[in-house]
Amino acid sequence: MKDRLEEKEKHIQHKNKKRIRKGLVFTGVFTLLIGIDFFTGAFSNLYYLWTEKDQELRAFLQQDLGERLNLEAESDGVKIKIKGAIADVVQTLVFYEIEDTEEDNQNMMQNFEGAFVENQDEIMKPEGFLRYYPPDLESDINKAEKNVYHGKISLLPLTSDEGTIKLKITKLLKLIRDSSD
């Protein structure tokens, strides 16, 4: 009886040592992974690589310079999605995606013609110049689908770190590609 109790106790101690060893190995690996992510940002880079198709917006988001928004509106078969906004002292960039759900057209918006900020006087600095970003039809993201266009517009810089931009879009421009495409 005494031998069986001793053997059972040894077995329990052996199991406990295995559990402690497994726990220490798990804790060490977990700490190593957290340390790698903290010093290199590898996991956040992988996350943005999987979730964001636009390389330029992805670069801003990885550096924590902007904010992902994912705002959507649809009207007359055209779906506009505001994907993100990046604001600094020079300008505010708004990244968007326009999908034509009824036809195979690519549409874009321009801040000089058909897109403006309703509350510009309240949240934006009056000094500054709006930059023009021509349509990038040669990028892989815009060649992937015939009815989706990914673009960006430049707005004046914001007066504070946070605010709500009331962007009103009244006109979209239809992009015409060369017949050689």
Interval 29-47: pLDDT, tens: 999 988 888 887 777 777 7
What tokens does 129 get?
Answer: 């110049």
In angstroms, the CA 166 to CA 5 distance is 76
Quickly tell me which residue has 């988001």 as its tokens: 61
Q: Which pLDDT belongs to residue 110?
A: 81
pLDDT of amino acid 72: 93
DSSP per-residue string spanning the chain = -HHHHHHHHHHHHHHHHHHHHHHHHHHHHHHHHHHHHHHH-HHHHHHHHHH---HHHHHHHHTT-EEEEEEEEEETTEEEEEEEEEE-SS-EEEEEEEEESSSS-EEE-BTTTBEEETTHHHHB-SSS-PPP----TTSHHHHH-TTEEEEEEEEPPBSSS-----EEE---EEE---TT-
pLDDT at 127: 82
Average pLDDT over the chain reads: 87
Identify the pLDDT of residue 12: 93
Amino acid at 10: K
Phi and psi angles of residue 142, each rounded to the nearest 5 degrees, phi first: -85, -15
Q: How far apart are CA 90 and CA 131, in angstroms?
A: 10
What's the confidence (pLDDT) of residue 30? 94
Q: Tokens for 89?
A: 């002292």
Name residues of the chain where pLDDT drops below 70.
178-181
Identify which of 108, 114, 95 has the alpha carbon closest to the alpha carbon of residue 147: 108
Q: Spell out the residues 6+ positions from residue 104 whose beta carbon is closer than 8 angstroms to its own.
A: 146, 147
What is the model's pTM?
0.73
For residue 71, the one-letter residue type is: L
Q: How far apart are CA 77 and CA 33, in angstroms?
A: 46
